[in-house]
Structure 1
Amino acid sequence: MNILDKKKNSTSFNYYKITTGLYIILTMYSLLVSIYLSIPLLLYGIITNKKGTPLFIALFFSILGYSFTPPFEFDLYRHYESYEYYLQYNEFLYPIKDFYLSFLFLIGKNLSLKKEFLYFISILIYYTSILTVVLKLKKNVPLTGTYFFIIFVLFILNNTVVEITGLRFTTALGFISLFIYYNYIESRKKTSYFFLFLSVLSHFSVIILPIVIILLRLLYKLFNSRLNAIIMIFTSVIAGLYFVEPIVAFAVIGVEKLFNIYIGAETYTSGLWGADRVTLHGFSQTGIMFENIKLGISILIPVIISITFILNKDYGKNELTKLFVACSIIFFIFIPFDTVYLRYQYLLIVTALIIFATKNYKFKYLDGQFIGISMIFLKISMQITVGLLSTYVFYIRGLKFDFINTNLVAVLFNIM
């Protein structure tokens, strides 16, 4: 294709551009009729970076997920059960760990909303948040072509609608994504700390992030040193694997008792979702081996990405890469506590994707960019593979694919 052909194609493409106002009207109309009609418009909005696209894509997933009927194994089943109990007795069936769910319960009761609105709102918040970040990166960095597509897909797949059935942590992750972007890319401090505050209210476990930020500022000389950073990474991994389990468990349970707040400390340290998860769930030898492989990969990936950042000549000047390294070091301490550690990996992936979107990490004899993105792809592929063998199957079975009723009008009518 010669230059004239490119120019001709470019002119032809511009000829078919639609205004932002018309795009919003057409997309809203399609979502009101059937979400499947909106797919071409959503793709157009992504390519051209139209305003409102993050919200429209979030609405697409919210409407699709609304029809999901959770089986007993899902956290969403428990949240629905608790909400209906709250509507009937005006008290919580289970101890409330965070403010997010209690706030939604209160809103739902006052507006007489059905239980499905909990999932609908949570999907809406998460996808609006992460897609706002991705499309702002596309506009301001800018990200173009294949590389934008790769970053976009990895952001979307880092947490799927299946993981969002837990409601609280994914909502917190969405707010954290906005915090990282506004704080480290646009330097809008007040806006960023507002989202950080919302993330902590959504899931108490993310209180670890402001703690890491404070430690990073207090010990900035320690983290600025490449050698010290590498030593701390491997020391933390060894400590997490072999030494700190009883100390961390004691500290987490102590925090729960000291502040008189319920965070499920025993469950996430030694219970069903903690250090003894594999034993308590009765995993087979094959299952145990697979879990060990999954854990090993989840340790290896942040180690490799951290070293990639540390080896860059601008490491000491880049606050976001230092945050990634510091978070990795602190998170490795939680390696024995299965669920907590793996949840923190989502936060690391979001941070790494934003970093790789904004800076090139190609060295003389090594393509750090390719290695880092490949590591993230490996992590997400493993996550999806596990999901397809378990929870994703339940999710697909629980969905209702109905062309006529899968629209915003039907959802709002049913929720009300």
Structure 2
Amino acid sequence: MNILDKKKNSTSFNYYKITTGLYIILTMYSLLVSIYLSIPLLLYGIITNKQGTPLFIALFFSILGYSFTPPFEFDLYRHYESYEYYLQYNEFLYPIKDFYLSFLFLIGKNLSLKKEFLYFISILIYYTSILTVVLKLKKNVPLTGTYFFIIFVLFILNNTVVEITGLRFTTALGFISLFIYYNYIESRKKTSYFFLFLSVLSHFSVIILPIVIILLRLLYKLFNSRLNAIIMIFTSVIAGLYFVEPIVAFAVIGVEKLFNIYIGAETYTSGLWGADRVTLHGFSQTGIMFENIKLGISILIPVIISITFILNKDYGKNELTKLFVACSIIFFIFIPFDTVYLRYQYLLIVTALIIFATKNYKFKYLDGQFIGISMIFLKISMQITVGLLSTYVFYIRGLKFDFINTNLVAVLFNIM
């Protein structure tokens, strides 16, 4: 068999097609030498949907992120501090909120791994998960050309290596992406619920998703009605903005006590990341205005996308669009606690991107597809803009751009 399969009468990128075996060998070799050498091969793997590409891209970002030294402001700083304390005293410095971190701490201690492996593994899980979804969509839908490129970029930018420094929620989001794909696109129920279970173990806040699914099944007639769905959307937004803050705060703290598990509820209700976050952090008037604009856009986007789905003639038959609408309605009650609310937006964007990748939402006088994708692009652009003014700058400063040591061999050697 020839290593290069020549495709006749073609002027496309695939004129010479590298076999899967050779692609895997070359990409692994480049990652072992320097991740920067792997970039052309990774791009080729994305375009041609080569086997192993999700893992290779995840390794690329994991190796890049390994060199990051987090400043005090990052959650990763506290995770590293907690891990080193655990190695020394065999107990947790801070209460552990989820099983994911405690499991990593246990593995790391037993294998004598350095603290950087926490971030390395979390990046690996997240990018492998979302890229598996994207490339499966490309193969099975199929997504082609410019539209695939747009969906791919939005998936990548929805949650970056900077956000992954929190470790827990982004890991949960990766598993949720797999749950949504396998459950609603391939109908592989057992596989999908396994990933849903892993997501809840990774970050307790995503317990909201199975709760929404149960509510959707119990109240399916209510959600099947277009009029009822639209009324619930606007009612939930108004309630979230003006009425439910004390009720939701009481309920969230009640859940913590009921399950007898520490989830840090007060931090996200009345604490530094709660309803008075902007005041407690001492934002300037400009900062407060910008935060309000960001929150307003994050409310408007799911409202518009939800209505786009509801107006489609197949709304009642599509379980995934109903899940998006139901999640939006439930998530709106968390608007007063914008840290929690904005975190849930990542889940909505993943869901919306999968929906837009699998179904056309063009109406007679309106292109719902274009509007929805544009809304998501606006949300992600705003997110990146904010990041470039704050955390992204700290992240870039914390990276070590070293051509020689930025490879898989050096990383594994240092971790061990």
Q: TM-score range by the shorter chain?
A: over 0.9
Report the alpha carbon displacement of residue 378 of structure 1 after superposing the two structures with TM.
0.2
Deviations 1:307-341 (A, max 9, x none): 00000000000000000000000000000001100
Match of 2:281 in 1: 281
Report the CA distance shift for 1:7/1:132 in structure 2 as closer, same or farther (over 3 A). closer
Deviations 1:267-290 (A, max 9, x none): 001111110100100111111111
Deviations 1:16-72 (A, max 9, x none): 111101100000000000000000000000000000000000000000000000000
Which segments of 5 or more consecutive residues in structure 1 lack a partner in the other structure? none
Q: Secondary structure at the match of 1:195?
A: helix
In 2, distance between residues paired with 1:260 and 1:300? 36
Deviations 1:176-205 (A, max 9, x none): 000000000000000000000000000000
Report the alpha carbon displacement of residue 6 of structure 1 after superposing the two structures with TM.
15
Q: Secondary structure at the match of 2:366?
A: coil
Deviations 1:241-280 (A, max 9, x none): 0000000000111111122110001000111111010010
In 1, distance between residues paired with 2:103 and 2:156? 27
Q: Secondary structure at the match of 1:10?
A: coil
In 2, distance between residues paired with 1:264 and 1:4? 56
In 2, distance between residues paired with 1:129 and 1:112? 27
State whether residues 5 and 18 of structure 2, in contact with CA within 8 Å, keep that contact through their aligned partners in structure 1: no
In 2, distance between residues paired with 1:183 and 1:126? 18
Aligned residues: 416
In 2, distance between residues paired with 1:16 and 1:120? 34
**What is the TM-score normalised by the length of structure 1?**
0.98
Report the CA distance shift for 1:284/1:38 in structure 2 as closer, same or farther (over 3 A). same
> Greater shift after overlay, 4-13 or 341-350?
4-13
State whether residues 240 and 336 of structure 2, in contact with CA within 8 Å, keep that contact through their aligned partners in structure 1: yes
Q: Secondary structure at the match of 1:17?
A: strand
In 2, distance between residues paired with 1:163 and 1:312? 34
In 1, distance between residues paired with 2:138 and 2:169? 26
State whether residues 5 and 17 of structure 2, in contact with CA within 8 Å, keep that contact through their aligned partners in structure 1: no
In 2, distance between residues paired with 1:111 and 1:281? 39
Which segments of 5 or more consecutive residues in structure 2 lack a partner in the other structure? none
Report the CA distance shift for 1:179/1:5 in structure 2 as closer, same or farther (over 3 A). closer
Report the CA distance shift for 1:303/1:410 in structure 2 as closer, same or farther (over 3 A). same
Report the alpha carbon displacement of residue 174 of structure 1 after superposing the two structures with TM.
0.1
Report the CA distance shift for 1:4/1:114 in structure 2 as closer, same or farther (over 3 A). closer
Deviations 1:66-125 (A, max 9, x none): 000000000000000000000000000000000000000000000000000000000000
In 1, distance between residues paired with 2:2 and 2:285? 60
Map 1:77-96 to 2 at 5 A.
77-96=77-96
> Greater shift after overlay, 229-238 or 260-269?
260-269
Report the alpha carbon displacement of residue 8 of structure 1 after superposing the two structures with TM.
6.3
Report the alpha carbon displacement of residue 15 of structure 1 after superposing the two structures with TM.
4.5
In 2, distance between residues paired with 1:314 and 1:112? 54
In 1, distance between residues paired with 2:68 and 2:251? 38
> Greater shift after overlay, 15-24 or 236-245?
15-24
Report the CA distance shift for 1:40/1:290 in structure 2 as closer, same or farther (over 3 A). same
In 2, distance between residues paired with 1:243 and 1:172? 30
In 2, distance between residues paired with 1:40 and 1:14? 14
In 2, distance between residues paired with 1:160 and 1:342? 15
Deviations 1:374-401 (A, max 9, x none): 0000000000000000000000000000
RMSD: 3.1
Does residue 50 of structure 1 match 2:24?
Answer: no
Does residue 70 of structure 1 match 2:55?
Answer: no
Report the alpha carbon displacement of residue 221 of structure 1 after superposing the two structures with TM.
0.1
State whether residues 63 and 411 of structure 2, in contact with CA within 8 Å, keep that contact through their aligned partners in structure 1: yes
In 2, distance between residues paired with 1:283 and 1:31? 43
State whether residues 7 and 16 of structure 2, in contact with CA within 8 Å, keep that contact through their aligned partners in structure 1: no
State whether residues 68 and 395 of structure 2, in contact with CA within 8 Å, keep that contact through their aligned partners in structure 1: yes
Report the alpha carbon displacement of residue 402 of structure 1 after superposing the two structures with TM.
0.5
Q: Secondary structure at the match of 1:5?
A: strand
In 1, distance between residues paired with 2:240 and 2:62? 38
Report the CA distance shift for 1:57/1:264 in structure 2 as closer, same or farther (over 3 A). same
In 2, distance between residues paired with 1:357 and 1:184? 13
Match of 1:156 in 2: 156
In 2, distance between residues paired with 1:123 and 1:266? 28
**What is the TM-score normalised by the length of structure 2?**
0.98
In 2, distance between residues paired with 1:313 and 1:44? 38
